[in-house]
Structure 1
Amino acid sequence: MKYLTALLLAALTLPASAEEIACTTTTWKLIGANHRICVYAYDDPKISGVTCHVSQARTGGVKGSFGLAEDPSQFSLACRQIGPINLPAKLPDDEVVFSEDTSILFKETKIHRFLDEKRKVLVYLAISRKIIEGAPANAISTVPIQPWGGK
């Protein structure tokens, strides 16, 4: 019960939900949904002016149609400055800015944000892992903090 409560609290505190931009079929399935690659966008919830796009493989078939399939750990990440960047006064050294379950049991994709103060760059790291096993699947994107439109 203690573990379940911790998971529920963690889920409630995670920011940003992704907006689906588009999906394309990679494998046609006779029964159930097709295998797809989908592109999602999310705006950094604490730093205005930054949007990240994530592409992820989505498993189809009968299990995929009912949300029971485990999606593969295949994704890509691209983050860009889309407006003036306003950093909050206190920014954590490592903060999860987006999290999504990619299977019904314990597999998730998380995007962490770091600040490279020396180079004035935001670093976004996407990791796909199983809570129990861990996995090395990851992608990185950086956003230089630059003036925007004379600001």
Structure 2
Amino acid sequence: MKIGNQFGTPLIKASGKLIAAGFILFGLTACGGDDVGKVSLGLFTTKDVIIDARHDPKLPGVTCHISRIEANLSLADPSDMSISCRQTGPISAQDIAGIDKSKNGEIIFKQSLSILFKSLKVRRIYDAENQTLLYLSYSTKETEGSHKHALSTVPLYNTGAWQASGVPVQ
């Protein structure tokens, strides 16, 4: 006696292939070359703190570390993040000359965080008066009445860019 029907086996095989493809795709998206750390928030949770290192594409002497919550297999949609940017190499006057100096600055990094149209963006803004680079990380989706954001600064003091401005280095 045969159990099942002629339609069950192909359907099971097709759904198995879709599940396998999903695991492969999930595995590939989790393997970023910029991952620095991953900390579990506990034994009975699927949430982790992910720490990424991102280099400013126009200022290779600046590295930003971004921490955020990753909620695998969870319907929660956390938007909290933190950013810390530091000078990790030389910054020249030519580097500064090549960046957007408008009040809006420019987006230097963008990453989708959910299928619900939420993304994490990092924007660089130049504060000419204080000769400081501002790095603003923010979520594009409002959560609990707030767009989550964080700010970090990189002063140009003692760099080639500061000296080029005509301000003497002491």
TM-score, structure 2 as length reference: 0.64
Matching residue within 29, 49, 55 for 1:43: 55
Q: 1:102 aligns with which of 92, 102, 113?
A: 113
Q: Secondary structure at the match of 2:58?
A: coil
- Name the TM-score, length of structure 1 as normaliser: 0.72
Alpha-carbon shift at residue 126 of structure 1 (Å): 0.6
Tell me how far 1:42 sits from its aligned partner. 0.6
Q: Spell out the pairing of 1:1-151 with structure 2 (5 A cutoff).
A: 19-29=34-44, 34-60=46-72, 63=73, 69=75, 71-86=77-92, 87-92=95-100, 93=102, 94-130=105-141, 135-148=146-159
The structure carrying a bigger strand percent of its residues is 1
Report the more deviating stretch, 48-57 or 80-89: 80-89
- The answer to whether the Cα contact below 8 Å between 1:42 and 1:52 also exists between their aligned partners in 2 is yes
- State the AA in 2 paired with 1:76: S
Tell me how far apart the structure 1 counterparts of residues 60 and 49 of structure 2 sit (CA, whole Å).
27
Whole-Å Cα distance in 2 between the matches of residues 137 and 38 of structure 1?
17
Query: What is the CA-CA distance between 1:27 and the residue it aligns to?
Result: 2.8
Q: Percent identity?
A: 35
User: Relative contact order: is structure 1 or structure 2 higher (C-alpha 8 Å, sep ≥ 6)?
Assistant: 1
* Aligned amino acid, residue 51 of structure 2: V
Point out where structure 1 has 5 or more consecutive residues left out of the alignment.
Answer: 1-16
Look up the SS of the partner of 1:84 in the other structure.
coil
2:13: which partner in 1? none
Output the aligned Cα RMSD. 2.6
- Tell me the distance in 1 between the aligned counterparts of 2:65 and 2:149: 14
